[in-house]
Amino acid sequence: MAADNFTYDFTMALLNKRLGRPKGPRCASQRLKAVTRRRARGVHRSRVSRTERLSACHKCIGLLSQPWAQPLALPRRDYTRGMRRLTAAALVAGLVAATAAAQDFGFRGFGFRGRFQIYPNTAYDGRFTFVRIRYTHLPGGNWYGGWPAWSHGYPLAEQNLMKIMNEVSYLNPHMEEINELTFDDPELFKYPVAYVIEVGWWDMSDREAEGLRTYLRKGGFVIVDDFKVRGGGFGRFDGSGGWDVFEANMRRVLPDVRFFEMSASHPIYHSFFEIDDLNIVPQAYVAGTPIFRGVYEDNDPTRRLQMIINYNTDISQFWEWSGTGLRPIDQTNEAYKLGVNYIIYGLTH
């Protein structure tokens, strides 16, 4: 990497509606703003090319030169004031086809999704790629159909989330290609957001601890999901060490780490959709309520949030089975909102 840290100030600049119009010729970024204003008034969209939508004039927005800083991730919330309050129907519209997609991955009815297999990673090309973290699991972490703990929902959950991201933003992500990497893989530093699941089963190595520590310090953002308190699972799938295993691992990464309880007032819950109450977040398990915690840079809540932790729930389960009827649409909607907000926050902080 050319820079020591991930930097996305250019994205923040694009999100700031109060920016004055830059001097000089009317460039792609200005044309795009004009188009979104006309669309908000119901005016037919002009012919702005996809290339123009995804790349704005360097002189106008100070676009960084790092290859991972392109293309632009411009949220479409300029279109209309109501976009951030999308209805459940709007969010999951078009994902009914997920039922057919699930069939491709071995889904039968509401049963498990066939035997586990890893799909090839896609080469880095500057577009946003969802990265799921792979790790060695503790004994007992190999579940139904040979699926290791880190892989639950892979790759259907993130594919569905990327379809949502493509609909509500200009992120232009890879929608089918999902990368799986380890925390000690240098390739990870090309990607600003990483997702890891079932961390109560994680048998962390020293190299992974060092890699995660470096990733966080260089500006990476980590989403932790799908691990539970004892008694919150289903039969033998009740979980492993749960929070204790995860906390012990994190103290190998950051010895002085503190875990802060999150509230709906934090900017991450307003980075795209307005999420004003965490009590409406759906529960994927059978015990208790979802718990949200965060890890901040230097343990300072006024600084950057480095890691968001979904404990005692599994928001990716709602992504995975959206369009199948397994989970209620309104709950699926809330889970998608969280996923969208997490990614936008990770790209802009």
Q: How far is CA 259 from CA 35, 145, 159, 203, in A?
A: 43, 34, 30, 20
User: 216: domain CATH number?
Assistant: 3.40.50.12140
Residue, of 126 and 226, whose pLDDT is higher = 126
Point out the domain boundary residue: 37, 68, 99. 68
- Collect all residues with Cβ–Cβ distance below 8 Å to 90 and sequence separation of at least 6: none
CB contact burial 2-34 (16+ within 10 A = b; e otherwise): eeeebebebbebbbeeeeeeeeeeebbbbbbbe
If asked whether residues 269 and 321 sit together in one domain, one would say yes
Q: What backbone torsions phi and psi does residue 146 show, to the nearest 5 degrees?
A: 80, 15
User: Is residue 233 situated within a structural domain?
Assistant: yes
- Give backbone dihedrals phi and psi of 179, rounded to 5 degrees, phi first: -95, 140
Cα separation of 143 and 114, whole Å?
Answer: 12
Task: Please indicate, yes or no, whether residues 194 and 223 belong to a single structural domain of this protein.
Answer: yes
Does residue 243 share a domain with residue 150?
yes
Pick the most confident of 252-266, 270-284, 317-331.
252-266
**Mean pLDDT across the stretch 200-225?**
97
The domain total for the chain is: 2
Question: Rounded distance, CA 14 to CA 330, Å?
Answer: 31
Residue 170 sits in the same domain as residue 100: yes
Tens digit of each residue's pLDDT (9 = 90 or more) over 115-166: 778 899 999 999 999 999 999 988 876 766 677 888 888 999 999 999 999 9
For residue 74, tell me if it sits in a domain. Answer: no
pTM tops 0.75: no
Worst-scoring range by mean pLDDT, 50-59, 199-208, 253-262? 50-59
In terms of domains, do 26 and 110 share one? no
User: Could you tell me if 60 and 121 lie in one domain?
Assistant: no
User: Are 89 and 57 in the same domain?
Assistant: no
Q: What is the DSSP letter of 150?
A: G
CA distances from 335 to 125, 180, 196, 318 (A): 28, 22, 16, 6
Is residue 216 included in any domain, yes or no? yes
What angle, rounded to 10 degrees, do the helices at 329-348 and 156-168 form? 70
- Please say whether the beta carbons of 227 and 195 come within 8 A: no
- In this structure, the answer to whether residues 136 and 55 fall within a common structural domain is no
One domain, residues 271 and 180: yes
Rounded Cα distance between 244 and 263, Å, is 22
Top pLDDT among 281 and 38 is at: 281
* Domain assignment of residue 255, given as a range: 85-348
Q: Which range among 69-78, 132-141, 246-255 shows the weakest confidence by mean pLDDT?
A: 69-78
Q: What amino acid is encoded at 161 in this protein?
A: L
Instruction: Mark whether 158 and 233 lie in a shared domain.
Output: yes
Q: Are residues 165 and 233 in the same domain?
A: yes
pLDDT at 342 over 80: yes
Say which residues have a Cβ less than 8 Å from residue 79's Cβ, sequence separation at least 6. 36, 39, 40
Which ranges of the chain would DSSP assign to H, the alpha helix? Answer: 9-15, 28-40, 50-54, 58-61, 88-92, 98-104, 156-168, 206-217, 242-253, 315-320, 329-348
Q: Which of 2-6, 226-230, 303-307 is predicted with the least confidence, judged by mean pLDDT?
A: 2-6
Q: How many CB atoms lie within 10 A of CB 78?
A: 19
